[in-house]
């Protein structure tokens, strides 16, 4: 899996120009949510792998997010659902490009137990890029700060 920093960096660069911080927060949350929900269970109880694999699927995440959005006031529910689902979509798009030794992700679960992937990189490959993503985000924020400061009288 691309690590959480890589997922967050991708969400940052895609939502950087969004004016509303509320939208960005839900987009960022969606970008890491499948791993945040599935990985701790798998790490703590590896024997439950085939039960936790369903958590990291589009079907589960759609149901989870729609239920999650119900905890917000009526006027926010659609925003929460749409932007969290968009973040999850970005997460799954990035995961689609990795390769696995045994089994990948079950994108069409519960309708199919077939796993498919594009297989461009191994799951640990993006970890090497964490310094690059961090430096790019810091540089972008620094340049934005300088630009905003120079453009205000």
So what's the pLDDT on residue 101? 66
Sign of CA dihedral 122, 127, 132, 134: positive
Q: How far apart are CA 2 and CA 125, in angstroms?
A: 8
Q: Residue 45: exposed, middle, or buried by beta-carbon count in 10 A (0-12, 13-18, 19+)?
A: exposed
Q: Is residue 125 over pLDDT 90?
A: no
Lowest mean pLDDT across 7-11, 49-53, 62-66: 49-53
What are the pLDDT digits (tens) for 33-43? Answer: 999 998 898 88
Strand partners, 121: 98
Strand partners, 17: none
* Cα 12 off chain centre by: 11
What are the pLDDT digits (tens) for 103-114? Answer: 778 888 888 888
CA distances from 111 to 57, 62, 108 (A): 11, 15, 6
| Structural domain boundaries in the chain | 4-151
Q: What percent of the chain has pLDDT over 90?
A: 46
State the pTM of this model.
0.82
Which of the four pLDDT bands, split at 50, 70 and 90, describes residue 1? very low
């Amino acid at each position: 899996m691309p690590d959480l920093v890589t997922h967050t960096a991708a969400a940052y660069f895609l939502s950087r120009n969004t004016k509303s911080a509320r939208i960005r927060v839900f987009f960022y949350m969606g970008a890491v949510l499948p791993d945040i929900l599935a990985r701790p269970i798998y790490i703590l109880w590896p024997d439950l792998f085939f039960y936790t694999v369903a958590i990291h699927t589009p079907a589960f995440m759609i149901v989870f997010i729609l239920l999650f959005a119900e905890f917000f006031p009526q006027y926010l529910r659609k925003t929460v659902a749409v932007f969290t689902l968009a973040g999850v979509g970005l997460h799954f798009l990035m995961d689609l490009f990795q390769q696995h030794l045994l089994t990948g992700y079950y994108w069409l679960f519960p309708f199919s137990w077939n796993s498919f992937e594009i297989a461009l990189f191994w799951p640990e490959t993006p970890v090497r890029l964490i310094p690059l993503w961090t430096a790019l985000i810091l540089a972008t924020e620094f340049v934005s700060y300088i630009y905003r400061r120079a453009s205000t009288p």
